């Protein structure tokens, strides 16, 4: 597994549209009790999220940031669904960052 890193299929849906869908190696979500990082093969979890920033690290190490308000996430067999009321701002432009 080390050679081929597991990936997470992410779906970020706002209540009126699909915001983003794609693969990621790491996702950090603003869970109700502090920021929560999710890597592949995380245990199945359902969490309430608060207002904050969702940071998606893509396989090529670029990062996407989404400003969201409250919602919830559900993660199960490397599928992550983030459902939020509104995604107010999105920085779709990839910003290169150190891994």
Partner 1 sequence: MASQLAYKARIASTASLEKIFNAQEMIASSRIAKARDVALGAKPYSDAIFDAVQAMAQHSHIVHPIVTAESSNPNVAVLALTADRGMAGAYTSSIIRETEALLGRLESEGKKPKLYVYGRRGVSYYRYRGRDVAQTWEGHTDAPGVEIAETISKTLLDAYMTPKEEGGVSELYIVFTEFVNMVVQKVRILRMLPVSLKRVSGQAAQSLPAAQPLYSFEPSLDEVLDRVLPKYVQSRIHECLLTSAASETASRQNAMHTATDNARGLIDELTRKLNATRQAAITQELTEIIGSADALNNDKE
Pairing between strand 8-14 and 79-84?
parallel
Among 7, 9, 11, 22, binds partner 1 (CB under 8 A): 11
Instruction: Give the burial class of 75: count Cβ atoms within 10 A of its Cβ; 0-12 exposed, 13-18 middle, 19 or more buried.
Output: buried
Which residues partner with 82 through β-bridges? 12, 73
| Least distance between partner 1 and beta carbon 20 (Å) | 10
| Least distance between partner 1 and beta carbon 61 (Å) | 26
Give yes or no for residue 70 binding partner 1 (CB under 8 A).
Answer: yes
| Least distance between partner 1 and beta carbon 94 (Å) | 22
């Amino acid at each position: 597994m080390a050679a081929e890193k597991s990936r997470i299929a992410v779906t970020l849906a706002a209540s009126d549209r699909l915001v983003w869908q794609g693969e990621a190696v790491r996702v950090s979500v603003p869970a109700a009790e502090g920021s929560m990082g999710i890597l592949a093969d995380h245990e199945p979890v359902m969490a309430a999220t608060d207002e904050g920033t969702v940071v998606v690290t893509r396989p090529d190490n670029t990062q996407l940031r989404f400003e969201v308000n409250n919602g919830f996430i559900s993660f199960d067999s490397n599928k992550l669904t983030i459902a939020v009321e509104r995604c107010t701002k999105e920085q779709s432009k990839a910003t290169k960052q150190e891994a």
